[in-house]
């Protein structure tokens, strides 16, 4: 699946969930939600690396799964924000990271 397709599908799923839950989408909400998801990713990272209280430790397989789930939330929210702001993520990544066109 192409990045643009992922961007469209992730946005549809996310916006459908917001509608279902009666939450109004806004740029501010999306930014706050991304911050929340980054926090959850950071927490799962600390658990995965066992840099937390021992009672929070999980097996390597479970902690890797939790880490993957939280990272997918972060990536998903980035795709939703890009869609909301009408940004082509693939084009932006290529121009900034690959060809460095936006760096020159």
Domain locations in the chain? 3-98
Task: Say whether domain 3-98 belongs to CATH 1.20.120.80.
Answer: no
Distance CA 64, CA 59 (A): 8
pTM, two decimal places: 0.92
Distance CA 37, CA 48 (A): 16
pLDDT in tens, 14-62: 999 999 999 999 999 999 999 999 999 999 999 999 999 999 999 999 9
Distance CA 104, CA 102 (A): 6
Element (H, E) at 56: none
8 A C-beta contact, residue 65 and residue 73: no
């Amino acid at each position: 699946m192409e990045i643009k397709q992922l961007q469209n599908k992730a946005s549809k799923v996310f916006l459908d969930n917001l509608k279902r839950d009666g939450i109004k989408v806004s740029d501010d909400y999306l930014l706050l939600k991304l911050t929340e998801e980054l926090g959850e990713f950071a927490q799962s990272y600390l658990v995965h690396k066992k840099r937390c209280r021992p009672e929070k430790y999980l097996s390597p397989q479970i902690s890797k799964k939790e880490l993957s789930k939280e990272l997918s939330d972060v990536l998903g929210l980035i795709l939703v924000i890009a869609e909301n702001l009408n940004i082509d993520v693939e084009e932006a990544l290529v121009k900034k990271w690959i060809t460095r066109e936006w760096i020159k």
